[in-house]
């Protein structure tokens, strides 16, 4: 891990553009913005079309899960390829691949003869492209951004991603109302092509690739490196557990809007907006101020803010108070993710960077499964109990990890 104080703690306040001063990073950031807003727009349009075809939320959920499954299946392989070949080329090919599949989605939508399974299959194909996109993106960002600027660079990436998640469904809704869902898919496809062309402007730093090794050997080397490089084992387990068991708030938000707070669809929209505003604010905080050098402690306190707010939300019966609590949860969210990502980046050597970042992507992709876990807990035990258990799986687990791992405490 980088250990020099001036690399990790220098405020660098007089160079606010920081990473943005880098032309390659600007191109990457724009391309990632297109990628993120495209995901949100495609998911919104896909859900709309499938629900109209089937009337079944189950099919909507299957299509959403179909995108996540390839990321889990191919994360390790994508990390090997990111260390073996040009990351810029992988990003270009993955975005071109996704552009083609989204264009195919537009075509079958225009015909009016598509069935729900067609959209599920195409979503799975898009997920394959996304599985190879993530590790290469984070690896190349880590390579071109100095360690002292990575926290801010990650904050900018989070800001772009959160903005896309918030505005994508709105844009998709307006386009669907004006000219139909197929137009949304065409726009996303064209956007992905534009993103792919932006990637070509990125000059990737020179590095040594292990061409002589078999992919299986490189995969084993990556797993061995992760297992023996502290605090990576702890970090992978923590991020996986958080995304599996500590995010029950997401599937329960519509339940609280409809059955507990009785604020209907409009109130549900405001609740999502409050959480999104907190996430956006958290992104701005990280972008402007960076992250404290003791990133594991940042994770602990940001997670504590999230968990205390979630428990309070569980028992709140005041709509304004619930909105405020969702906002404070959002403030902790991106700070936590940014600190975890920074640790992954700082402990990865250049030759292992793609494989280490694939573990980050894999850990974060437990998030969709966390929705399922939260919903099952609520159905089994009740809403308040599910949120309390979710919080217990957060801060106390992080505290135990800090107690048992000196290397994590120093991270």
**Are residues 25 and 90 both part of a single domain?**
yes
**Are residues 342 and 402 both part of a single domain?**
yes
Q: Is the peptide bond before 72 cis (omega within 30 degrees of 0)?
A: no
pLDDT at position 40, please?
A: 82
pLDDT at position 55, please?
A: 79
**Are residues 177 and 43 both part of a single domain?**
yes
**Are residues 156 and 237 both part of a single domain?**
no
Neighbours of 19 (CB within 10 A): 25
**Cα dist. 332→233, 277, 329, 361 in Å?**
23, 12, 5, 20
pLDDT at position 207, please?
A: 66
Name the domain count of the chain.
2
3-class DSSP state of 218: helix
Q: What angle do CA 163, 315, 393 make, to 5 degrees?
A: 70
Domain membership of residue 309 (yes or no) is yes
pLDDT at position 12, please?
A: 42
Give average pLDDT by consecutive 10-residue segment, the chain, 411 residues: 37 47 81 89 84 77 77 84 88 96 95 89 92 89 83 82 76 85 94 94 72 68 83 91 85 82 81 83 83 87 94 95 94 88 84 83 80 80 91 90 90 79
**Are residues 278 and 400 both part of a single domain?**
yes
**Are residues 288 and 348 both part of a single domain?**
yes
DSSP characters over 267-284: HHHHHHHHHHHHHHHHHH
pLDDT at position 5, please?
A: 37
* Interval 232-262: pLDDT, tens: 999 999 999 888 888 888 778 878 888 899 9
pLDDT at position 210, please?
A: 55
* Interval 49-93: pLDDT, tens: 887 888 776 677 677 777 778 888 887 888 888 888 889 999 999
Domain membership of residue 145 (yes or no) is yes
**Are residues 174 and 52 both part of a single domain?**
yes
pLDDT at position 349, please?
A: 79
**Are residues 152 and 293 both part of a single domain?**
no
Neighbours of 163 (CB within 10 A): 18
pLDDT at position 129, please?
A: 92
Domain membership of residue 302 (yes or no) is yes
Mapping DSSP onto H, E and C, the string for 340-409 reads HHHHHHHHCCHHHHHHHHHHHHHHHCCHHHHHHHHHHHHHHHCHHHHHHHHHHCCHHHHHHHHHHCHHHH
d(CA 334, CA 150): 14
**Are residues 243 and 371 both part of a single domain?**
yes
Domain membership of residue 265 (yes or no) is yes
Tokens of 276: 């999104």
pLDDT at position 2, please?
A: 39
Domain membership of residue 4 (yes or no) is no
Of 209, 231, 246, which closes a domain?
Answer: 209
**Are residues 177 and 226 both part of a single domain?**
no
Give the CATH number, domain containing residue 200.
1.20.1250.20
**Are residues 195 and 233 both part of a single domain?**
no
Of 179, 209, 239, which closes a domain?
Answer: 209
pLDDT at position 213, please?
A: 64
Domain membership of residue 6 (yes or no) is no
Of 156, 177, 209, which closes a domain?
Answer: 209
Cα Dmax for the chain: 63
* Interval 255-281: pLDDT, tens: 888 889 998 867 877 887 788 888 888
* Interval 161-174: pLDDT, tens: 877 777 777 788 88
pLDDT at position 20, please?
A: 59
pLDDT at position 146, please?
A: 83
Specify the DSSP class assigned to residue 11: -
Domain membership of residue 214 (yes or no) is no
DSSP characters over 233-271: HHHHHHHHHHHHHS-THHHHHHHIIIIIS--HHHHHHHH
Domain membership of residue 12 (yes or no) is no
Chain centre to alpha carbon of residue 57: 23
pLDDT at position 276, please?
A: 81
Q: Which domain holds residue 42?
A: 18-209
**Are residues 189 and 232 both part of a single domain?**
no
77 phi/psi in degrees, rounded to 5: -65, -40
């Amino acid at each position: 891990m980088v250990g020099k104080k001036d690399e990790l703690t220098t405020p660098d306040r007089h160079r606010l553009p920081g990473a943005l001063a880098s032309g390659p990073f600007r191109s990457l950031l724009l391309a990632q913005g297109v990628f993120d807003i495209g995901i949100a727009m495609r998911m919104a349009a896909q859900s709309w079309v499938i629900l109209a075809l089937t009337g079944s939320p189950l099919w909507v959920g299957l299509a959403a899960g179909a995108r996540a499954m390839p990321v889990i299946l191919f994360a390790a392989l994508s990390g090997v390829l990111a260390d073996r070949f040009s990351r810029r080329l992988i990003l270009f090919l993955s975005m071109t691949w996704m552009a083609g599949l989204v264009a195919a989605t537009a075509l079958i939508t225009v015909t009016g003869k598509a069935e729900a399974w067609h959209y599920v299959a195409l979503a799975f194909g898009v997920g394959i492209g996304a599985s190879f996109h993530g590790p290469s993106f984070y690896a190349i960002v880590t390579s071109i951004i100095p360690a002292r600027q990575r926290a801010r660079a990650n904050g900018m990436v989070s800001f772009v991603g959160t903005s896309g998640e918030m505005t994508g469904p709105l844009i998709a809704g307006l386009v669907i109302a004006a000219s139909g869902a197929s137009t949304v898919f065409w726009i996303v496809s064209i956007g992905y092509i534009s993103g792919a062309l932006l990637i070509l402007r990125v000059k990737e730093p020179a590095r040594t690739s292990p061409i002589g090794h078999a992919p299986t050997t490189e995969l084993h080397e990556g797993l061995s490196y992760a297992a023996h490089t502290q605090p990576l084992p702890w970090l992978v387990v923590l991020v996986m557990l958080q995304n599996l068991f500590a995010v029950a708030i997401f599937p329960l938000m519509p339940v609280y809007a409809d059955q507990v707070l009785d604020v209907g669809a409009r109130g549900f929209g405001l609740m999502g907006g409050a959480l999104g505003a907190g996430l956006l604010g958290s992104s701005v905080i990280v972008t402007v101020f960076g992250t404290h050098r003791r990133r594991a402690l940042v994770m602990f306190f940001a997670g504590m803010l999230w968990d205390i707010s979630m428990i309070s939300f569980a028992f709140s019966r005041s709509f304004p108070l619930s909105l405020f609590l969702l906002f404070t949860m959002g403030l902790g969210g991106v700070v936590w993710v940014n600190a975890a990502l920074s640790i992954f980046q700082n402990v990865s050597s250049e030759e292992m960077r793609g494989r280490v970042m694939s573990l980050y992507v894999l850990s974060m992709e437990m998030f969709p499964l966390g929705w399922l876990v939260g919903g099952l807990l609520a159905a089994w035990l009740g809403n308040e109990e599910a949120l309390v258990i979710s919080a217990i799986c957060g801060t106390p687990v992080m505290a135990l990890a800090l107690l048992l791992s000196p290397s994590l405490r120093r991270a």
